[in-house]
Structure 1
Amino acid sequence: MHVLWTLLIPLLMAEEMVASQARSRRELAPGLYEHGVYDAGGSYCEHGDVCCNGRNDGCTVPYLDTICYCDLFCNRTVSDCCPDFWEYCLGIPPPFPKPHGCTRAGRNYPSGATYRENCNLCTCSPGGRWDCEDHACLMDAELIDAVNGGNYGWRAANYSHFWGMTLDEGIRYRLGTFKPPPTVMNMNELHMSMDSNEVLPRHFDAASKWPGMIHEPLDQGNCAGSWAFSTAAVASDRISIHSMGHMTPALSPQNLLSCDTRNQQGCSGGRLDGAWWYLRRRGVVTDECYPFTSQESQPAGQPCMMHSRSTGRGKRQATARCPNPRAHANDIYQSTPAYRLSSDEKEIMKELMENGPVQAILEVHEDFFMYKSGIYRHTPVAERKAPKHRQHGTHSVKITGYVGWGEEHMPDGQTQKYWTAANSWGKEWGENGYFRIARGVNECEVETFVVGVWGRVSVEDMNHRK
């Protein structure tokens, strides 16, 4: 008997200790809120139908970021009870004032709760009202409907990867080309020699003339670096064409973003003349060798991981391995000095047809972000709204496309001429990454500053890089 009692005592003490610890967690720890739950409303016990007599730790329901109880043990000064315990389970008024929560979609939310309505944050105020920010959003359902309901010649779409961004953020993070200074804008224009009666084709397909040499649209993400992306895109095509297909490099925008730091700001914007200076004097590697990593705008930027040194005769070679360890070809590609074209529509057409894609500056307005298809013209749909819904910024693009230009017969019987340009917002945007824009009328200043360049290509290069 003594032996049995000796065995039972530790067992009973262990059970008592477990029970004591369970109680102490509940009884001695402070409740969620002293004197009751003040900042929430909602029928927690009622919805869960979990009222219990006495003490029952199973009578719980999720509450904010923890749990609350629906048993009689809650009836204390320090409470961890659900807000509707007293009313629903006991049939008496709660021992604290009725909370001023907010209602949304048939549900109650406590003071301080938040939700996002597109690009605006809404917060439940102590007075029981949702207070929402009032930013202009990049994707605006009213403007999309207005474009699609009007006769503007193009269609708008709601892009999920732009949803939740403000218009300010779109201008700040999705463009990124500084307007050329007066010294650059005053560059002498290089005129094409054209006969006064020369007739150019109504349609021109760059990809058909130079198969395998026209590179697809890029994606700059939320990096305001169109200055680097459009430069790399045009240079890639031009080097491919001028080497007669012996070299078809897809050049690295990241090389420019990280290493061209002379008066440039990486993913916070840059100048086209600086980008072409760097491509001529320093050169860049391919995107495979130095892939794009600056998906977000970063004040500090990415450190330069690729430098070059002169080998004589204007040529340069890399002084480091590729940042991408799986790539081994770190050849440096360069261009000749960039030249500005005339703003004359036909001269731009002839340059594109003879020498390849060109770079253009584009003034982007609020409706351009929503472009899906058709021939774009800036619309007046935002004029009925507050001024904050009408903003614009400077962008740069590659005029090329699988059709460099063309014409389309409109429903009203008129003929609309257009350029096709490659944007750098990914292939999910626009017409598979491209957009068409009205030609010959300087729409959004697309014909104001157009640049061409020659790839620095020698016979030695073509033999070496086949």
Structure 2
Amino acid sequence: MRASILLVAAFVAVAAALPMQSHPTCRPPKNEWANGELVLSPRPHEYLNVEDLPDSFTWGNVNGVNYLSERRNQHGPESYCGSCWDVATTNAVSDRIAILRKNAYPPVVLSAQVVLNCGYGGSCGGGSASGVYEALNKYGLPDETCQAYAGDIAQACKDVNICETCGSSGCTAISNFTMYYVSEYGTVRGADKMKAEIFARGPISCGIDATAALEAYTGGVFSEFSVLPIINHEISVVGWGTNGSTSYWIVRNSWGSFYGEDGFFRIKMGGDNLAIETDCSWGVPTLTKPSTAAPKVAAPVPVPAPAAKTPAELGLYHDLSRPGVRIDRTASRQMNIVSPQPFEFLSVGDLPASFDWSNVNNTNYLPSPRNQHIPQYCGSCWAHATTSALSARYFIANNAQGIPFNLSPQILINCVTANQTQGCNGGDPLAAYAWIAVNGIHDDTGTWYEAKNLPCTDYYKCHTCEPSGKCNAVPNCLNFGVAQFGEIVGEAAMKAEIFARGPVAVTIAVTTDLINYTGGVFHDTTGAIGDDHSVMLTGWGVDNSGTPYWTIVNSWGTYWGETGAARIVRGVNNLGIESQGAQWATPRL
């Protein structure tokens, strides 16, 4: 009897020491590999001495350069999704791709939605990071401009749900997109081995016991004692540091930038850390298809190929009957200019022959590319060009420090109405900046791009969803503003503005040849000038034949043009690029 009482008392004591959990399980306590680890080269802990590693290190700042991909929020857009295993892993591999590519433009953010669509390791009900790494080795993944995150709105694993673009009449599978792979993968456990792996090859994905206290975290070095932590969540560990005598891990979560320390948390190293050091995974990215990848299955019966149609003939990228820019040029358009503009103090002779914010002293200042036409067609170029240019200017103002982000074009679609702006039916880029100047804007971890007109409410400005299925507005979203904004025309003024302060949004005409563009310096011969489309203008240059050009970044996905960008002949007002207006805004810091 006494033994029974002691046993019950011990059980109660242990139960009392267990952390209180409110987070549902979105990954199993242990990752299992279907066919074992795939290790082809020495692992870092086998050749690095942990004593030689620095006391502090993060891929968010390596000699002043950030290699981390943007923060994300798994819990939306309209319902809760337990995809931590997916988002944490694709983020970690995206970081490693940036390291592999030496942070070259464009930044690659792997599509977490393709993982859900194809069931590569799980679903919104939970899954395993191992399944993502195995799929990356066997099948590969595209970037997010092929398939945007939609959470539990998962589709069948077919071509159109792996990479698509949408026109006015529906969505079409894309074939000329880039796949990214991993050549090997495996497990790492223990602080010393984790540090070696992170230092040598990049961030890793790890399991953790997400307790109620961790969910309530707002800052500082977190620690929580647990007799028996049970892993139920996946995060990515991007580095480590010290705070006095306490060493800690630097961790990126997938609960939005409004969680913790701008989407991150720090947790004690070596104990009282909810099992974060017990089950981590890694993958080595490659830009070429590994020999272990699954071969393409040939059609059993030869079928004559239909005559190839151009994107314009297929109705892709741009509906010529539905301009994405709506500007009433007879109306008075609001501007707020309170300081001298660069063209007033910089002359053309002061500027270099070539300049682009995608590569300034080997540093890229541009955000990841976007696709305005998924999951359905939406004439929101005006919202994408303005938010992309302003996002870049924030990164420039911060000297490329911190984590890059994309401001939310969806908020502008929902809320801007000035000067004939009509959301997915087109809008005025200058009206977008005027709205931000008054209201501010959040990044897209609280307002996912859904390519449709939604109400302009607090909920649709920033929200997240709970395990119960209930979604709520978030009051503490990061808010970004505009200090001043205006519009300029002409090559000299545009070059001065870009060089001094950053990219601008610019209005151009769209022709069938531009829709079908695949590379080189584009030169329209039709004389088209009009308010059709808005793009981000990032710089200029001269090609090998001596032809001057502008560099634009479009919002039609990385499979269009030159990885989502194009060069347009400069100095002759091609497509109206130098006469229809370049809209600029400065960050409110």
The answer to whether 1:330 aligns with 2:472 is: no
Alpha-carbon distance in 2 for matches of 1:259, 1:399: 24
What whole-Å deviation, never above 9, does each CA across 1:418-459 have from its counterpart, x for those lacking one? 0000011111101000010011111111012112211011xx
- Report the counterpart of residue 241 of structure 1 in structure 2: 396
Unpaired segments ≥5 residues, structure 2: 1-166, 170-307
The answer to whether the 8 A contact 2:504-2:583 is kept is yes
2:329 corresponds to which of 181, 184, 191: 181
Residues 453 and 323 of structure 1: CA distance in aligned 2, closer, same or farther (over 3 Å): farther
What whole-Å deviation, never above 9, does each CA across 1:60-98 have from its counterpart, x for those lacking one? xxxxxxxxxxxxxxxxxxxxxxxxxxxxxxxxxxxxxxx
Alpha-carbon distance in 2 for matches of 1:229, 1:195: 28
- Report the counterpart of residue 558 of structure 2 in structure 1: 427
Alpha-carbon distance in 2 for matches of 1:195, 1:393: 28
Residues 323 and 163 of structure 1: CA distance in aligned 2, closer, same or farther (over 3 Å): farther
DSSP 3-state at the match of 2:369? coil
Alpha-carbon distance in 2 for matches of 1:379, 1:336: 39
- Report the counterpart of residue 303 of structure 2 in structure 1: none
The answer to whether the 8 A contact 2:458-2:473 is kept is no
DSSP 3-state at the match of 1:335? strand
- Report the counterpart of residue 407 of structure 1 in structure 2: 542
Alpha-carbon distance in 2 for matches of 1:266, 1:177: 10
CA root-mean-square deviation: 3.6
What whole-Å deviation, never above 9, does each CA across 1:283-332 have from its counterpart, x for those lacking one? 221122211112xxx6xx22235369xxxxxxxxx7x5347979987212
Residues 237 and 323 of structure 1: CA distance in aligned 2, closer, same or farther (over 3 Å): farther
Deviation for aligned residue 1:212: 4.7
Alpha-carbon distance in 1 for matches of 2:316, 2:477: 39
What whole-Å deviation, never above 9, does each CA across 1:327-348 have from its counterpart, x for those lacking one? 98721211123122241x2332
Alpha-carbon distance in 2 for matches of 1:225, 1:303: 16
Alpha-carbon distance in 1 for matches of 2:309, 2:368: 20
1:165 corresponds to which of 308, 311, 315: 315
Alpha-carbon distance in 2 for matches of 1:419, 1:407: 9
Deviation for aligned residue 1:226: 1.0
The answer to whether the 8 A contact 1:418-1:437 is kept is yes
Residues 209 and 326 of structure 1: CA distance in aligned 2, closer, same or farther (over 3 Å): farther
Larger Rg: 1
The answer to whether 1:227 aligns with 2:382 is: yes
Counterparts in 2 of 1:66-465, with a 5 A limit? 164-165=314-315, 170-172=319-321, 175-184=323-332, 190=341, 192-194=343-345, 198-209=349-360, 211-221=363-373, 222-246=377-401, 248-262=404-418, 263-294=420-451, 301-306=453-458, 321-322=463-464, 330-343=477-490, 345-380=491-526, 394-400=532-538, 404-410=539-545, 415-448=546-579, 449-457=581-589
Residues 416 and 212 of structure 1: CA distance in aligned 2, closer, same or farther (over 3 Å): closer
Alpha-carbon distance in 2 for matches of 1:160, 1:251: 32
The answer to whether the 8 A contact 1:259-1:306 is kept is no
The answer to whether the 8 A contact 1:285-1:332 is kept is yes
Residues 261 and 194 of structure 1: CA distance in aligned 2, closer, same or farther (over 3 Å): closer
Opposite residue 354 of structure 2, the aligned amino acid is H
Deviation for aligned residue 1:224: 0.7
Opposite residue 442 of structure 1, the aligned amino acid is N
Alpha-carbon distance in 1 for matches of 2:347, 2:417: 44
Unpaired segments ≥5 residues, structure 1: 1-118, 122-157, 309-317, 384-389, 458-466
Alpha-carbon distance in 1 for matches of 2:344, 2:367: 28
Deviation for aligned residue 1:185: 7.2
Residues 269 and 342 of structure 1: CA distance in aligned 2, closer, same or farther (over 3 Å): closer
The answer to whether the 8 A contact 1:358-1:399 is kept is yes
Residues 186 and 212 of structure 1: CA distance in aligned 2, closer, same or farther (over 3 Å): closer
Alpha-carbon distance in 1 for matches of 2:346, 2:316: 49
Residues 235 and 322 of structure 1: CA distance in aligned 2, closer, same or farther (over 3 Å): farther
The answer to whether the 8 A contact 1:227-1:270 is kept is yes
DSSP 3-state at the match of 2:386? helix
Count of matched residue pairs: 269
Alpha-carbon distance in 1 for matches of 2:334, 2:463: 40
